[in-house]
Amino acid sequence: MGIHGLAKLIADQSPGAIKEQHIKTYFGRKIAIDASMCIYQFLIAVRQDGSVLQNEDGETTSHLMGMFYRTIRMLEHGIKPVYVFDGKPPQLKSAELEKRGERRAEAEKMLAQAQEMGEQENIDKFTKRLVKVTKQHNDECKKLLTLMGVPYIEAPCEAEASCAALVKAGKVFATATEDMDGLTFGTNILLRHLTASEAKKLPIQEFHFSRILLDIGLTHQQFIDLCILLGCDYCGTIKGIGPKRAIELIRQHGCIETILESIDTTKHPAPEDWLYKEARALFLEPEVVDCSSVELKWCEPNENGLIQFMCHEKQFSEERIHNGFKKIVKSRQGSTQGRLDSFFSVSGSLSSKRKEPEVKGSAKKKQKTSATSRKLQEKAKKNQILHDSHVPKAIAYFSTSSDIFSLNLNLACEKTKRA
């Protein structure tokens, strides 16, 4: 479920904290992905005639097709994905899980009625509401990722919390999920729509947590209290307080305890035995993977293993899986060039340099050649991280990067001029 109304609240209160990006922006980035959210999306979206994909044995395969092709798409754009799977849900989530069970039971009744009436639109709607990610779905996706050479992590508890911990530890660049509680757990950068279908043409939304806190004027703990007031997975919320009122109250009073002392509880009653303190503690100090022991490795894909699992066992087209394998191999070759910001550290400004007296004619040409030579020699002594063979690769990356306009690399004849 995530946090009710948080995305809209941020868009209203901190629009500058949200950037719309193209997938090419994340070339060379390691990104932690909420696996369960992805699998759920695949089960919803990858369908034929309104039903999940199945093989001849009646086994669901939508999750495998989605995981295979969406992961390949990221690899082709130079992204290094690491999938994080949910562990055991926290005890605080039991009430929310019970509510979900009740909603599923209601959806089953509504589906039966829609089928009896022949209402196809409602049949599709309620069928999707019954989608649930199972242990088998998770295990099959883990096996597929291993065969593709893509790492995954099993979180001890909530996947979003471990994703956020990996970001804060510097292991990955961002958390990719559709649930906004990744921000509540403190991820520095959250990406939405990274694994969305390419056909939807949705731009990737990049949320910057530090900018959000700055714009709305809250600390992390106050932001957590705001999220609890909005509605989260771990406890109820105060009746009659919407997003606008919630942020006003947090700004005015600073915490839920003081809010409870100041509001009219007859008009705005809090839930009985409200576990907001426990929810706050869970967001502040969640049970997460030990980041110091995490080693992320992207390995060579196993072609024979992929054919055996996806084709012989799950009955996918051998030609398509083989073509997918070739794309993975090709993407590994391209991803070795790395990001340009790992090659350079840019400081100073061209405009701050003293302007030399103008020299004309042959003297100008000679001086230009001599100056270029001296610059190259000085650069070679100070900075040896860029080998000649890296220059074409650097330029190739810059040609697709949105940041190229801050630095120009020109390869003229056999000489390289770098400012």
Q: Where in the chain are the domains?
A: 23-94+102-202+302-331, 220-272, 375-419
CATH number attached to the domain at 23-94+102-202+302-331: 3.40.50.1010
Cα–Cα distance, 85 to 106 (Å, whole number): 28
Average pLDDT over residues 154-175: 97
What pLDDT score was predicted for residue 1?
Answer: 64
What pLDDT score was predicted for residue 341?
Answer: 57
Element holding 204 (H helix, E strand): strand 204-208
The answer to whether residue 376 scores a pLDDT higher than 60 is no
Cα–Cα distance, 264 to 26 (Å, whole number): 48
Tokens read off for 350: 């061209």
Cα–Cα distance, 324 to 316 (Å, whole number): 12
For the sheet containing 18-21, what is the strand order? 18-21, 204-208, 189-192, 174-176, 30-34, 80-85, 152-154
Per residue in 132-151, pLDDT (tens digit) is 889 999 999 999 999 999 99
What pLDDT score was predicted for residue 125?
Answer: 73
Cα–Cα distance, 257 to 225 (Å, whole number): 10
Cα–Cα distance, 380 to 390 (Å, whole number): 14
Per residue in 319-332, pLDDT (tens digit) is 999 999 999 999 98
Q: Is the dihedral of CA 202, 53, 131, 64 positive or negative?
A: negative
Q: Are 28 and 339 in contact (CB under 8 A)?
A: yes
Average pLDDT over residues 109-115: 76
**220-272: which CATH architecture?**
Orthogonal Bundle (1.10)
Label residue 60 by pLDDT band (50, 70, 90): confident
Q: What is the DSSP letter of 336?
A: T
